[in-house]
Amino acid sequence: MKALLFNIHDIILLLTIGTFALLTALSLTRASRSTPANSVWASFYIINALLSGYILIYWSDAVREQLFNVFSYAYLVSSTLCFLIGPSLLAIVRACSSNGLQLRWQQALHLIPAFLTIAYLYAVCFRFNLSTQRELFLYLKLYTQPGVYYHYFVSLQKIMPLLYGFVCVAILARARPPMEEDQHLAKTLKMLVIGFTLVWSWELCTHFIGRAYANGPSDAMGIAANYLKFALALLLVADQLSQRQTATATAASSSTLEPAAIEDAHVELIESAMLVQKAYLDSQITLERFAEAVNLSPREVSTVINRKFQQNFHEFINRYRVETAKKLLSDPNNTHLTITEISQAAGFNSKATFNRFFKKFVLCTPSAFRIKHQKLPTKSAKV
């Protein structure tokens, strides 16, 4: 009988790859965020899937030799993944916590370690013939080559993701409390950042224990890291499916309301709360608090807004805020105010939310709107 191609630990890696592939699909089809932001999440999950695949192939005696013989450079390219996963997590955090996804040339600096990895490994290993490459890379002779310092390179592969994880944790710790519509996103983001930072911490400890103790528990700890990553991926899938189920249930509930005529008095109460009392300026307003302020039930408020204004509650509130922000941005007397200060004056407590709704309703960024309507040079628009 032939030997098994994969053992039980390899099966976990295969399941992890499949789970990250599912997360990629869920991210790309998520309607609650912009397409570029969805792509950033998907890229992070793809890198994780590729990393799990690399681990599976590298430590599988039945597969790694065959792949190396067919295309050894696959190992060269895969070695860059550890230097890409940290920047991809940082991109997610920045896309969700600040101005949204904004591409600048400085962000390309995060890719330098990946390019240096290709240059380094090519110089010390992959420029030689296939037989020499196999001895150096697969059979770990790189560790003993003079002047190569391969053990430092491997340590950097473990350290860099963790450093990015700590940076992301620090960014989240300084972030403002999320608005109601962003609370689930904030919860998912914390789960993602803290979860992967803990996994990377475990992997770094495993690496240094393996270097210090040849017969220590590093092998078992490495296997445990794969299980931890699989468990984290399952939690993220459950979170995404729960979010979709909640959104579907909310939409179904809204569509099955009785088609009773909307009370004009209810409309007047809601419009008065917005136009006279300016309830939208309360950055912590929720459907429940607004309903209490107008002496209606949350269901009645939601029904009136849906049928009369063809919007949900958050779109209704934030449209008023955006209109207020437009007036502030157009006023030449407000040139001393930053975009953040204007967003807060309009009732937003998150710059990311402000930018998202402003671009949705006005089709341009707040800075571009200010420049156009105040006829200011670009450098004078404060951000």
pLDDT of residue 176: 64
217 found inside a domain: yes
Q: Do 350 and 99 form a contact (C-beta atoms < 8 A)?
A: no
Q: Does residue 113 surpass a pLDDT of 80? A: yes
Mean pLDDT (whole number) for 97-106: 64
The per-residue pLDDT for range 21-76, each reduced to its tens digit, is 999 999 988 755 555 678 899 999 999 999 999 999 988 877 888 889 899 999 99
Q: Are residues 287 and 228 in the same domain?
A: no
Q: Please give the residue that has the higher pLDDT: either 238 or 3.
A: 238
**pLDDT category of residue 314 using cuts at 50, 70 and 90:** confident
Say what the pLDDT of residue 379 is. Answer: 42
**Residues 294 and 240 both lie in one domain:** no
Helices within the chain (DSSP H only): 8-28, 35-58, 61-70, 73-78, 85-97, 112-121, 130-133, 150-174, 183-212, 218-255, 264-275, 287-293, 298-309, 313-330, 339-345, 351-362, 366-374
**335 within some domain:** yes
Q: Does residue 291 have a pLDDT over 50?
A: yes
**How confident is the model at residue 131, as a pLDDT?**
94
Tell me: do 208 and 300 sit in the same domain.
Answer: no
**pTM for the model:** 0.70
Q: Judge if 315 and 344 occupy the same domain.
A: yes
Asked whether residue 141 is domain-assigned, the answer is yes
Backbone angles phi, psi at 139, to 5 degrees: -95, 10
| Mean pLDDT, rounded, for 307-324 | 88
Question: Looking at residue 129, which CATH number applies to its domain?
Answer: 1.20.1070
| Predicted pLDDT of residue 100 | 54
Domain with 358 in it: 264-380
What's the pLDDT at 137?
A: 92
| pLDDT band per the 50, 70, 90 thresholds, residue 251 | low
**Left if phi > 0, otherwise alpha if psi is -120 to 50, otherwise beta: which for 179?**
beta
Q: Tell me the average pLDDT of the chain.
A: 85
Banded pLDDT at 103 (limits 50, 70, 90): low
Residue 258 lies in a domain: no
- In this structure, the answer to whether residues 348 and 217 fall within a common structural domain is no
pLDDT digits (tens, 9 = 90+) for 184-231: 778 889 999 999 999 999 999 999 999 888 777 988 999 999 999 999
Give which of 360, 336, 361, 341 is closest to 351, Cα–Cα.
341
Who has greater pLDDT, 96 or 262? 96
Please report where in the chains the tokens 């909310």 appear, as a residue: 250
Q: Is residue 1 part of a domain?
A: no
The predicted model gives 335-349 an average pLDDT of 89
pLDDT confidence tier of residue 107, bands split at 50, 70 and 90: confident
Q: Is 259 domain-assigned?
A: no
Higher pLDDT among residues 85 and 275, named by residue:
85
Mark which of 217, 232, 252 sits at the end of a domain. Answer: 252
C-alpha 39/C-alpha 31 separation (Å) is: 12
List Cβ neighbours of 248 (8 Å cut-off, separation of 6 or more): none
| pLDDT above 70 coverage of the chain, percent | 86
Q: Is residue 332 a contact partner of residue 292, using CB atoms and an 8 Å limit?
A: no
| pLDDT tens column, 130-185 | 999 999 999 989 999 999 999 999 999 999 999 999 999 998 888 765 545 567 77
Domain match, 196 and 80 both: yes
What mean pLDDT do residues 99-120 have?
Answer: 84
Same domain as 248, residue 270: no
Q: Are residues 71 and 171 in the same domain?
A: yes
Q: Which of 42-46, 71-75, 111-115, 311-315 has the lowest mean pLDDT?
A: 311-315
Over range 102-117, report the average pLDDT: 86
Confidence band for 119, pLDDT divided at 50, 70 and 90: very high
Are 161 and 188 in the same domain?
yes
Q: Give the per-residue pLDDT at 31.
A: 59
The rounded percent of the chain whose pLDDT value lies above 90 is 44
CATH number of the domain within which 286 lies:
1.10.10.60
- pLDDT of 2 strictly over 50: no
Q: How many domains does the chain have?
A: 2
